[in-house]
């Protein structure tokens, strides 16, 4: 019997380009190789963007069912009224709008694999119906009477904590055991950071010739330390973004940080980490502050969460702040700065501040700010 340590990527799995040589990824390829030839139900868990659908399609592609269809269904994205007909099909006239007979996804995947993504979001009443089908492999179309036998392999996936859902009676325990005959858990990308350079190289290689670029070794080190809240999808998108902004260049760590900041600036933890990184002693250099703040404001001046990035590190002096006074001070400073930047043209300054012209004039009168 093959052991995990002796396992080398099976060529059939390599063909599906499941990239990664970390111990976790090797183990996942091993599990895929073992389960693919069977018809066992597989439940894939792991955070969003960690590759659950890719693993599901790898299992299908490596299985004897590979000549059949791989049909993905996002159970969380289909309105609950339509889910039953989507899965099991319907007969003509079964409900308003059912103008003809339609096959459901189970029938389409007959002889192949049905991938039930976001199974944790499936409504409770549908869970009962699904369980029944999994038990006897027989479906009945909505509005129909005929029992139709299907030979469909089920692979499901969720990013939710399914045990927690079971505890809270949001997910049926009996269905869980049906679906999770063979569970596979995908770790987050941060937990297999060894794979980051390989994945980055893989996505770079797939770029069109005129958009290729490379990361400096500092950048790659930075990317390996980064926490990747959006997992592999976030890395793929970063490569795409970088190739648009810096084609044919060697991309340094500052540029990489900015590119990540474009995507994560609404996430306080990441933002803080980014700001602190510019100074190892955790004191922030004022030049760096300004350049980042400029970028953030330039990107989307109306975006409240991005504006908040300006205050990511606001300390509380002593044990209290006089908030009203601080806010007044801040308003005065911004109004003065905006007037200076706009050469004292009030309507331009108002635009810079995202205010109506009359509101700015009211504030200037209130704070006795004149055009210098
Ligand atoms: N090991 C891998 N090698 C290469 N590309 C990968 C790998 N894992 C994931 N990807 C790529 O990352 C992206 C996200 O993967 P996928 O859609 O499979 O994630 P997911 O966990 O199903 O996400 P969600 O929970 O949001 O549905 C896809 O573009 C996929 O091709």
pLDDT digits (tens, 9 = 90+) for 299-333: 333 444 444 444 444 555 555 666 777 778 778 88
110-119 per-position pLDDT tens digit: 999 999 999 9
Question: How far, in Å, from the CA of 232 to the mean position of ligand 1?
Answer: 6
Residue 235 CA, closest ligand 1 atom number: 12
Residue 50 CA, closest ligand 1 atom number: 21
Ligand 1 — pocket residues by CB below 6 A? 17-20, 46, 48-54, 117, 159, 199, 232-233, 236
Q: 43 forms bridges with which residues in the sheet?
A: 156, 183
> pLDDT by residue for the chain (372 residues), tens digit each?
333 232 223 333 334 589 999 999 999 999 999 999 999 999 999 999 999 999 999 999 999 999 999 999 999 898 888 999 999 999 888 887 777 889 999 999 999 999 999 999 999 999 999 999 999 999 999 999 899 999 999 999 999 999 999 999 999 999 999 999 999 999 999 999 999 999 999 999 999 999 999 999 999 999 999 999 999 999 999 999 999 999 989 999 999 998 887 655 444 444 444 433 333 332 222 222 222 233 333 333 344 444 444 444 455 555 566 677 777 877 888 888 888 777 778 888 888 888 878 788 888 888 888 876
The pair phi, psi for residue 190, each rounded to 5°, is -65, -30
Nearest in space to 193 (alpha carbons), one of 310, 64, 21: 21
**For a pocket test of ligand 1, which of 232, 236, 237 has the largest count of ligand atoms closer than 8 A to its C-beta?**
232
Cα distance between residue 8 and residue 11, in whole Å: 9
- Strand residues in the chain grouped as ranges (E): 42-45, 70-74, 89-90, 102-103, 113-117, 138-139, 148-149, 153-158, 182-185, 214-215, 250-251
Q: Domains, the chain, ranges and CATH?
A: 11-187 (3.40.50.300), 191-311 (1.10.8.60), 323-366 (1.10.10)
Question: How far, in Å, from the CA of 352 to the mean position of ligand 1?
Answer: 40
Question: How far, in Å, from the CA of 55 to the mean position of ligand 1?
Answer: 8
Question: How far, in Å, from the CA of 323 to the mean position of ligand 1?
Answer: 45
Question: How far, in Å, from the CA of 199 to the mean position of ligand 1?
Answer: 11
- Whose CA is closest to atom 25 on ligand 1? 48
Question: How far, in Å, from the CA of 113 to the mean position of ligand 1?
Answer: 18
- Whose CA is closest to atom 7 on ligand 1? 51
Residue 44 CA, closest ligand 1 atom number: 21
Residue 54 CA, closest ligand 1 atom number: 18
Question: How far, in Å, from the CA of 60 to the mean position of ligand 1?
Answer: 15
Question: How far, in Å, from the CA of 194 to the mean position of ligand 1?
Answer: 17
Helix %, strand %, coil % of the chain (to 5): 50, 10, 40
Nearest in space to 201 (alpha carbons), one of 182, 190, 217: 217
**For a pocket test of ligand 1, which of 14, 49, 55 has the largest count of ligand atoms closer than 8 A to its C-beta?**
49
Nearest in space to 154 (alpha carbons), one of 77, 70, 80: 70
197-205, Cβ contacts within 8 angstroms, sequence gap of 24 or more: 197/223, 197/224, 198/19, 198/20, 198/21, 199/19, 199/20, 199/232, 199/235, 199/236, 200/235, 200/239, 202/17, 202/19, 203/235, 203/236, 203/239, 203/240, 204/239, 204/243
């Amino acid at each position: 019997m093959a052991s995990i340590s002796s396992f080398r990527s099976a060529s059939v799995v390599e063909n599906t380009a499941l990239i990664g040589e970390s111990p976790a990824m090797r183990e996942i390829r091993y599990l895929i190789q073992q389960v693919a030839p069977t018809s066992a139900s597989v439940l894939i868990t792991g955070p969003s963007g960690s590759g659950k659908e890719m693993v599901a399609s790898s299992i299908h592609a490596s299985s004897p069912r590979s000549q059949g269809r791989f049909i993905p269904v996002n159970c969380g994205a289909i309105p609950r009224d339509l889910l039953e007909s989507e899965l099991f099909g319907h007969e003509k006239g079964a409900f308003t709008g059912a103008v003809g007979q339609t096959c459901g996804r189970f029938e389409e995947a007959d002889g192949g694999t049905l991938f039930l993504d976001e199974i944790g979001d499936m409504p409770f009443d549908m869970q009962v119906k699904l369980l029944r089908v999994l038990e006897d492999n027989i479906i009945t179309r909505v509005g129909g009477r005929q029992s139709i036998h299907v030979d469909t392999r089920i692979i499901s996936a969720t990013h939710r904590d399914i045990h927690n859902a079971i505890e809270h009676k949001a997910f049926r325990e009996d269905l869980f055991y049906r679906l999770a005959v063979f569970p596979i858990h995908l770790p987050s990308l941060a937990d297999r950071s060894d794979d980051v350079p390989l994945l980055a190289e893989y996505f770079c290689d797939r770029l069109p010739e005129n958009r290729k670029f490379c990361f400096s070794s500092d950048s790659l080190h930075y990317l390996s330390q980064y926490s990747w809240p959006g997992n592999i999808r976030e890395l793929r998108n970063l490569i795409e973004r970088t190739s648009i902004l810096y084609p044919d260049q060697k991309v340094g760590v500052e540029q990489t940080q900015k590119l990540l900041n474009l995507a994560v600036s609404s996430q306080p933890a990441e933002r803080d980490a980014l700001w602190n990184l510019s100074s190892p002693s955790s004191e922030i250099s004022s030049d760096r502050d300004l350049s980042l703040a400029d970028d953030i404001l330039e990107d989307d001046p109306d975006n409240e969460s991005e504006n908040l990035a300006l205050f990511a590190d606001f300390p509380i002096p002593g044990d209290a702040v006089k908030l009203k006074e601080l806010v007044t001070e801040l308003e005065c400073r911004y109004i003065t700065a905006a007037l200076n930047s706009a050469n004292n043209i009030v309507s331009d300054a108002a635009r810079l501040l995202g205010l109506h012209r009359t509101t700015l004039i009211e504030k200037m009168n209130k704070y006795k700010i004149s055009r210098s």
